[in-house]
Amino acid sequence: MTASDGDEPNGLRRTHRVTISDLARRLQISKASVSYALNGRAGVSDETRQRVLDLAEELGFHPNSAAVALSASRTRTIGIVIARDPALISTEAFYMRTLVGIEQYLNEVDASLLLRLTGEQGEDLDVLRRWSRQGRVDGFILFDEHDNDPRIPLLKELGIPCVVVSSNAPDDQAGRLISSPTETVTLLLDHLAALGHRDIAHISGPFMFVHERLRVQTLRELAADRGMTVRQLEGSYRYDDGAALTRQLLTGPNPPTAIVLGNDLMAVAALRVAIDLGTPVPGQVSIVAWDDSPLCELAHPGITAVDQKTMERGRAAADLLFRVAAGQDDIHEQAPAGELRARASSGPAAHR
């Protein structure tokens, strides 16, 4: 699938209908054998190779997509290096769901993931440099973009491709899977506006992340378009912080009628503080979260959140990386669209 023929009108690439797994199942051979056959690599007999190619044609499997990219791959391995507090990584569902999506894709095409979690920023640069020089990976998927992120020029200098899971699309030659905040902000604000909310608050993640500052800016603009005011507070993604900032809002003058929280952990914290303060949810304050997760789903009341299609996003990032590494020109792609999961934590505004 080339970048153009797979694009939907809304910019969303669809997943392939026929996969290597389908071919393997039909032929009762391993996916590795299918992959070897499609990629012209040793490891299968000529007869098997022909059976694979025949079935691929019959079923309309497009070997001009990932298969071509993978045939150009030196290592069939991608690298991910995450520099974040390990405790936070293990509490938030985001990373694990993303990794699972990436792994689902890699498993289908018989490729591998080399993973490193460094506790501190800076250490990640060492790892990117060494894995690149050692030729261990075809490229990297990068998360949590910072201002003037040093990883992007480093990888450019090293000549190693990357895909940034990103909120913006500067012209820096990095591959990008782009989730514009406009979409999520629109889902959240339309939901709250329809419920009569006019005075809302947003407790974000740290402003050091590009995507958090874009969220703040987009919320301000789209709230103004709808005649809503939005107070913005910088949080840390941590439970304690979500709790303290929510307490500050709800016990201060003119509490907002709805609070948007930047992640699931802070949303659960906000819900708990509201209940502990005797502030009815959603009767007095609605609580909504940027990212859906089991914590939001299993909270009581359940917390309204945007399902960011995190696993699909992981799949799409891995797929894009192999195509970028194979030299595809179009290095920017839209991430799968999110969907609002309306639950009991949001309801009509207390004051109109």
Nearer to its own copies, 39 or 180 (CB): 39
Q: How far is the CB of 31 from its own copies (least distance, A)?
A: 8
Contact (Cβ atoms closer than 8 angstroms) between residue 322 and residue 73: yes
CB-CB neighbours of 201 under 10 Å: 23
Q: Cα separations (Å) of 348 from 136, 188, 345?
A: 54, 14, 10
Strand segments (E) across the chain: 77-83, 112-118, 139-142, 162-166, 175-178, 199-204, 229-234, 258-261, 286-289, 304-307, 332-334, 339-341
> Where along the sequence are the contacts to its own copies (CB under 8 A)?
30-32, 77, 86-87, 89-91, 93, 95-97, 99-100, 103-104, 106-107, 112-119, 123, 126, 130-131, 136, 239, 265, 268, 272, 275, 294-295, 298-300, 311
Minimum CB–partner distance for residue 97 and its own copies (Å): 4
Give DSSP secondary structure letters for 35-97.
Answer: HHHHTT-SSS-HHHHHHHHHHHHHHT--TTTHHHHHHT-SSSEEEEEEES-HHHHHH-HHHHH
For the bound state, the minimum distance from the C-beta of residue 17 to its own copies, rounded and expressed in Å, comes to 18
Please state the closest distance from residue 124 (CB atom) to its own copies, in A. 10
Query: Which residue, 185 or 289, is less far from its own copies as judged by CB?
Result: 289
Residue 32 or 350: the one with the smaller Cβ distance to its own copies is 32
Q: Are 108 and 16 in contact (CB under 8 A)?
A: no
CB of 323 closer than 8 Å to CB of 69: yes
Residue 204 or 310 with smaller CB distance to its own copies: 310
Considering the complex, state which of residue 44 and residue 219 has its C-beta at the smaller distance from its own copies. 44
The CB-of-61 to its own copies minimum distance in angstroms stands at 19
Closer residue to its own copies in complex, CB, 224/275: 275
In the block, residue with structure tokens 């490891």 = 43
Rounded CA-CA distance 111/162 in Å is 16
Q: How far apart are CA 82 and CA 165, in angstroms?
A: 12
- Minimum distance, C-beta of residue 213 to its own copies, in the bound complex (Å): 27
Nearer to its own copies by C-beta: 86 or 252? 86
Rounded least distance, CB 308 to its own copies, Å: 13
Q: Give CA 155 to chain center in angstroms.
A: 21
